[in-house]
Amino acid sequence: MRPWAIAAMIDDADEKRLGLDPANGLDKHFLTEAEGSRKPVDALETFASHLQLLSDMASDVEDKYLMQTLAESEKPTSHLEMTIDAWRAGDSEKLQELLTQTVNDYPRLKPLMKRLLDDRNDAMTEKIEQFLSTNKTYFVAVGAAHMVGEHGIVSQLRAKQLSVEQL
């Protein structure tokens, strides 16, 4: 197995330990709601593009990613738990702090974090701008990590003089 796949399995185990089930995730919830209401659904990115992002990872970066995942899994309170707590509290500053902490603790992962967050944020922001250029109403759901920080989707949209509010 590729190191990134093993890291994903470790993350999945942490999610299960916390009682999280992908079948009950927010993305699945909203997709089911949209389908039930016969609303059209589009994606900001595809599963294939996400898989390609991981598959294109350099082997040394994959190894570092796995090592970081293993190190984090040994901690009494997981990174995921802290992220969930910050998300539930609507604490965008804490979410950003957790993302920054990952890069500070594992500086060799900075290129990976750029690919996983910043580059994808750019592409997603561009697609959201396309949505906003129409006269239609859209509902957009993305992971919390994409919303925060100076390179997050919210900051990018605000920099383009668009109004964004946290609910």
Residue 28 pLDDT:
87
Calpha distance 153→166 (Å, rounded): 12
Contact by Cβ (8 Å): 72, 106: no
Domain-embedded: residue 88:
yes
Q: What does the pLDDT look like over 44-90, one tens digit per residue?
A: 998 898 889 888 888 888 898 999 899 888 887 888 899 999 999 99
Q: What does the pLDDT look like over 128-166, one tens digit per residue?
A: 999 999 999 888 989 899 999 999 999 999 999 999 988
Calpha distance 40→36 (Å, rounded): 10
User: The domain containing residue 85 runs over which residues?
Assistant: 3-159
Tokens of 113: 């974090």
pLDDT at 22 over 90: no
Q: What does the pLDDT look like over 148-157, one tens digit per residue?
A: 999 999 999 9
Neighbour tally for 106: CB within 10 Å: 18
Domain-embedded: residue 164:
no
pTM: 0.86
Domain count, the chain: 1
Domain-embedded: residue 167:
no
Domain-embedded: residue 165:
no
Measured distance between the N- and C-terminal CA atoms of the chain, rounded to whole angstroms: 41
Domain-embedded: residue 69:
yes
List the one residue out of 70, 72, 99 whose CA is nearest residue 83.
Answer: 99
List all residues 6 or more positions away from 15 whose beta carbon is below 8 Å from its beta carbon: 21, 22, 80
